[in-house]
Amino acid sequence: MEMKILALISAEYGRRMVANIRANGPADWQVDTWQAPLVLPPVIDYPEDYLPESFPKADLILSFAEHRGVAELLPDIAGMSGAHAVIAAVDNEAWLPSGLARQLREWLARVDVACATPKPLCSLTETDFGVSRSQRLQHGSTWIAEFARYFGQPDIHLEMDEQTGRVASATVRRDAVCGCARYVAERLAGLDAAEVEEKAGLIHHHYPCLASMVKLPDFNHDTLMHASGNLLKDNLRPQVKPYIPDLYIKPG
């Protein structure tokens, strides 16, 4: 469906996301951007001091801001743009800590705006999103679902050569917002089934993945970059498993 998107960006992280959405999203999506402030006070008493007089009309807001203070501006931005839903990326907890992400969801719910805070961003699906290693939340939004048809948790379909056990082709059904899944898929053809997982993980890191390398307690002290890579490998593993022969070791 047609959709008007307002993307909030701070620097290269957000620009890269927007570039991939514009290049590979539906042609009838309109994507506008707003450069968020790079410096904000610890507590924002008057949001209007940091916002323009108006915003383009939007159905969905994508927050790629690299400052935690932007979360405090989002309810006002949603009201000014008429947005029905917000996706606030959590690829770095310094930009949107867990407690603030929970508050943001509550603030927006009060004004009847759906909110997803996927952690990492590539945990987003048409129905839910990750907030920790073991917890996922439903977003219940048709606007977020429409975006997640194309961008979010990677979904790569592999065509396997039955005779050789190698990847014949890889088709991206849902790309990561940053374009990483598409980048990986373009490099899988010809790989033996047994090496797909490992090579995909390496390609993912070399893209490079934009998620943080800080170890987090709610991810069992793993990093969001590794969590992102695992989501990609989890998609590929069941597709190649039937083509990997069982290894038997005969004791001497």
Res 249: pLDDT: 73
Residue 248 has pLDDT above 80, yes or no: no
Please give the Cα distance from 34 to 36 (Å, whole number).
Answer: 6
How much is the pTM?
A: 0.94
Instruction: Give domain limits for the chain.
Output: 3-148, 155-243
pLDDT tens string 86-127? 999 999 999 999 999 999 999 999 999 999 999 999 999 999
Residue 39 has pLDDT above 90, yes or no: no
Mean pLDDT across the stretch 19-36? 97
Please give the Cα distance from 118 to 139 (Å, whole number).
Answer: 10
Bridge partner residues of 85 (DSSP)? 60, 114
* 88 neighbors 71 (Cβ within 8 angstroms): yes
Residue 239 has pLDDT above 80, yes or no: yes
Q: How far from chain centre, in Å, is Cα 170?
A: 20
pLDDT tens string 141-200? 999 999 999 999 999 999 999 999 999 999 999 999 999 999 999 999 999 999 999 999
Nearest to 94 by CA among 129, 66, 130, 123: 66
Cβ partners under 8 Å of residue 96, min gap 6:
63, 68, 71, 88, 89, 90, 104, 117
Res 23: pLDDT: 97
Please give the Cα distance from 247 to 238 (Å, whole number).
Answer: 17
**CATH superfamily of domain region 3-148:** NAD(P)-binding Rossmann-like Domain (3.40.50.720)
Residue 41 has pLDDT above 80, yes or no: no
Tell me the two tokens of residue 6. 């307002």
Res 160: pLDDT: 98
Mean pLDDT across the stretch 36-42? 83
